[in-house]
Amino acid sequence: MALAVALAFFVSIFGVEMAHSSDPYVKNVLSLTGNPVQGHAIFQINCAGCHGLEAYGLVGPSLQGVSKHKSHYRLIRQVISGETPPMPKFQPSTQEMADLLSYLESL
């Protein structure tokens, strides 16, 4: 019984991630190689006002180590959705998003 529950949980999580990765924007972002230097510049222009110059947090939370506990899909969704006020909706190009992800991974 416990094995069946664990397997169902794994399949549901894996299935959700597979469905998310079929989104054309996400799929395109994940197919690109990001440049962390360019991502840092994008962060400074669009994110540092709330997350701090080095992403330690101000109005918004610290983003240090964020890629260790959020998937690429969840990070992309967080940036583009605007579903967590006061964070604004932001729609970077796919290359800009790949660069931003690369920078966030370096934190």
Q: What is the pLDDT of residues 42-69, one digit of tens each?
A: 999 999 999 999 999 999 999 999 999 9
**Centroid of chain to Cα 79:** 7
* Tally of helices (H runs) and strands (E runs) in the chain: 6, 0
Taking every pair of Cα atoms in the chain, the longest distance, rounded to a whole number of angstroms, is 51
Nearest to residue 79, comparing CAs of 71, 70, 91? Answer: 91
Q: Model confidence over 83-99: pLDDT tens digits?
A: 888 889 889 999 999 99
Q: Give the residue with greater pLDDT, 15 vs 72.
A: 72
What domains appear along the chain, each with residue ranges and CATH number? 23-106 (1.10.760.10)
State the pLDDT at residue 47. Answer: 96
Please write down the long-range contacts of 81-86, taking CB distance under 8 Å and 24 or more positions apart. 86/50, 86/59, 86/60
